Structure 1
Amino acid sequence: MSQMARNASLSGFPELLPQERMIEQHVIDSLRKSFELHGFASIETRAVETVEQLLRKGEIDKEVYAVSRLQADEGAAEAALALHFDLTVPFSRYVVENAGYLAFPFRRYQIQKAWRGERPQEGRAREFTQADFDVVGDGVLPFRHDVEIVLLAVEALSALPIPEFRIRVNNRKLAEGFYRGLGLEDTPGVLRSIDKLEKIGPDAVARLLSEELGASEKQAQAALALAQISSADLDFVRQVRALCEQHGVQNDLLEEGLEELSSVLSAAMGRAPGTVLADLSIARGLDYYTGTVIETVLVGHEALGSICSGGRYDALARKGNRTFPGVGLSIGVSRLLARILSQQLATASRSVPTAVYIALTSDQDWAAAQDLAVTLRSRGIATEVAVAAEKFGKQIKFADRRGIPFVWFLNQEGGHEVKDIRSGEQVPADPESWLPPAEDLHVLVQPN
């Protein structure tokens, strides 16, 4: 039974059974391999930040977990601390504090826990793992990194045991330029309203634009019409130009955004046709995004929400007059894992790393069995040794129950035999040369 189907003793803080943890480790190892193949270096930031640092971007203070000692020193002034709710804000601090030690553009990935006091549901836990990858520049960061990040997302997600996915891309410059061309100057406010489109629908968004931002009905409908444009090829350019002509919109920022979004789509069409879509409804509510914005959904699992999101930020990190523009994405490892487990989208070949279980003929063989285990382990074969010379049938049953494929026997003459307990085949074996088949050497995680 999946962990997600069991009742957790503390809601929102999931724990995994060994076989489930194997799948999570496979996902993390696969992502790490993808990131490192592209030259991204791993970092880890502390779990706590000052409350001031955490809350300077966005508005999620109700979800932040504060951290304090049960018995603080009386009269001692201490900065208010909290657990980080994502990895982006800690990373921006990390870049500023370590700028003198980093080579720019700095390519980083980070796979860590985060904490957020949300109402627990599938895909949303209070303690969860994210995998972030970013490229950060010093002063400037060429746009080509935006394209690179999207292509890496395609590659990294394609290697995971998950269903088909769609990466939906927009550009804030395009949207903001269009809104300004319409006469809507509070572009962050318009974007925050458009970001709610899938949750509350177009009529409610139109009311928000009218009541909160003073948009006319014509302006509101034009903003909604832009958000309805979507295509898996460059046809979105034609649709945007037609809408601009209809409403008399001309704006240099819009033109810049159109060009950038076209570059992303062109590259993706060559590498992964149909996987990346231009979707002008994607807004990303946080104000620090300045260009490319991205959300990703699993086909057939859209209700799960975005599994990989982020974008371009030109001023998230600052140090005096120095700015560190960046572009990056965050993959929701725990969100993906929740769906993989609940829908049994993937299976681990066994629940333990062990490939060989050394049985004992007599208790006097235990020392020799330990020496044999050392030999096998030195050759990369995960091995366990029985602790007592019980009946062979009982020892084999123990190995079988844990999914261990091979049982090794030492005979009185010093010979060795190994038994594949699935087929029953038992053959002589040399500890210095025997290897299990490649598919049995390590735990395999495969999509169902």
Structure 2
Amino acid sequence: MARQASLSGYLELLPQERLAELHLLDTLRGIFESHGYGSLETRAVETVETLLQKGEIDKEIYTVSRIHDDGAKDARLALRFDNTVPFARYVTENAGHLAFPYRRYQIQKVWRGERPQAGRFREFTQADIDIVGDGALPPRADVEIAVVMASALEALQIGDFTMRINSRKLSEGFYRAIGIEQTAEVLRAVDKLEKIGPARVEQEIMETAGATSEQAQQALALAQIRTPDVSFVEQVRALLPDQTGHELLEEGLAEVTEVIHEMSIRVPGRAVADLSIARGLDYYTGTVFETVLHDHPQLGSICSGGRYESLATKGKRTFPGVGLSIGVTRLLSALFDSGELVASRSVPTAVYVTLRSDDDWGAAQNVADTLRSRGINAEVALSAEKFGKQIKYADKRGIPFVWFTDDDGRHEVKDIRSGDQVQADPASWTPADEDLSPQIIRKTADL
């Protein structure tokens, strides 16, 4: 993984790494589909206007243009920076053809003009799941999305992780209850807490939100609440002993309580109420999520998202939703670099069918076809080189078995790892289950 890239910020995997990536993506698809989520792909480009409507990301957008400009006044196009904004556009354009609540998963590449560094890429794959309603979406959708994604992360067997959960309603309602009106500025400041520390966050709250020192300290006290259960509710109320609270605060407390409670049943030990989580993008309006991998804290959040009430609108019609996204490339790069995730071989081929002479190519293809018809991946040599050279090629490719056929049509297969060679019939011979396809090997992180 520590290879020299010809273009920084763009990751190209070796065959063995690509097999591991495909296994990870197939695992995610299986979990998502088992919960009723259907696959969606959207176009790579959106109009610049569409992308700029959602958050402060103008410096990260890659615009798209033709080399030859004929003067046509077409809309300016740009590559998508996430899957959520294109999804919102897709929903509004195709609402008449969708059944709501609409559940979808989307696994595609996105592009951001970020400065390349460890774990940060300019082109990378994201895996998203969302539930979208028409006009309304019950809060239990937030619960479902969290449970599904936590189940998917467990299925990946990538090590211990924690999903940190808060609600922007909870935070905003608390800020209003203590007299702060510029709540967006406080949320943006608190979102930087782990990067810049409490002292600078307190200063920023006072400077940008017009808060007093006491109010800023109360906001920081809220952000420091973390519980693995619903006891966070009492801790929040303890910060407001002489006040009745705020309606938005009560909604947020109730919604986070439901998520934490249900996750403790469905995926125990995976969720914590963390009232420092705010999320930077402006379109989140309710529950927000961030997920940390215990063996790789330097990665930050590997899976994040939240609730949005008005990301997708069409006239007076609104499509509220909730979604979560995994940074697949970011996660994979860390697992590859640490040696935790490897494939047992670099190709799906289980059997390499050799040639005694070039005239045997057709017969060798018949052998391979028989094996393939029985679910055994096979490939055939392209030329009749010396057997030693053919075996060496198969070994370099990581193919475990080599097939031989003599002049009388008798077949033998050799396990080139052990050297064992036995008679075999292409219509009945079967390798061990673990040799049928590459195995994805997960090792403990050596940190």
* TM norm. shorter chain > 0.5: yes
Alignment of 1:389-400 (within 5 A): 389-400=384-395
> What's the secondary structure of 2:250's corresponding residue?
helix
Amino acid at match of 2:250: E
Which amino acid is the alignment partner of residue 332 of structure 2?
L
Aligned to 1:277: 272
What 5-or-longer segments of structure 2 have no aligned partner?
Answer: none
Q: Deviations over 1:112-132 (max 9, x none)?
A: 000000011121100000001
User: CA offsets, 1:265-315, max 9 Å, x none?
Assistant: 111111222211100000012221111100001103111111100011111
Q: 1:104-253 maps to which residues of 2 (within 5 A)?
A: 104-245=100-241, 248=243, 250-253=245-248
The aligned amino acid for 1:190 is: V
Secondary structure in structure 2 of the residue aligned to 1:331: strand
Residue 339 of structure 2 aligns to a residue in which SS? coil
Equivalents in 1 of 2:355, 2:65: separation in Å? 53
Q: What root-mean-square deviation, in Å, do the aligned CA atoms of Structure 1 and Structure 2 show?
A: 1.1
Which residue in the other structure is 2:302 paired with? 307
Decide which of 397, 402, 410 is 1:402's aligned counterpart: 397
Kept in 1, the 8 Å contact 2:151–2:267? The answer is no
Query: What secondary structure, in the 3-state scheme, does the structure 1 residue paired with 2:156 have?
Result: coil
In the other structure, the counterpart of 1:326 is 321
Q: How far is the alpha carbon of 1:135 from its aligned partner?
A: 0.4
Deviation, structure 1 residue 364: 2.3
Give the conservation status (yes or no) of the 8 Å contact 2:183–2:209. no
Query: Could you tell me how far 1:398 is from its partner in structure 2?
Result: 1.3
Q: How far apart, CA to CA, are the structure 2 residues paired with 1:281 and 1:249? A: 22
Work out the CA distance in 2 between the residues paired with 1:202 and 1:389: 70
Helix, strand or coil at the partner of 1:183: coil
TM-score (norm 2): 0.97
- 1:122 and 1:100 map into 2 onto residues whose CA distance is 43
| 1:348-374, Cα deviation, whole Å (9 max, x unpaired) | 010011100011223222110011111
Distance 2:279 2:261 in 1: 22
Q: Which residue of 1 aligns with 2:29?
A: 32
State the SS of the aligned residue for 1:142: coil
Q: Which of 417, 420, 428 pairs up with 2:423?
A: 428
Q: Deviations over 1:200-255 (max 9, x none)?
A: 1111111111111110011000000000000111221221121121x635112211
Q: Equivalent residue of 2:240, what SS?
A: helix
Matches within 5 A, 1:27-106: 27-74=24-71, 76-106=72-102
Count matched residues: 443
Displacement, 1:161? 4.1
SS in 1 for 2:239: helix
TM-score (norm 1): 0.97
The separation in 1 between residues aligned to 2:177 and 2:138, in whole angstroms, is 26
In structure 1, the residue matched to 2:6 is 9
Tell me the equivalent position of 2:282. 287
Q: Kindly provide the CA deviation profile for residues 77-122 of structure 1, in whole angstroms up to 9, marking residues without a partner as x.
A: 1111111111111000000000011111000110000000001112
Unaligned stretches of 5+ in structure 1?
none
The answer for the alignment partner of 1:380 in structure 2 is 375
Tell me the secondary structure at the aligned position of residue 244 of structure 1: coil
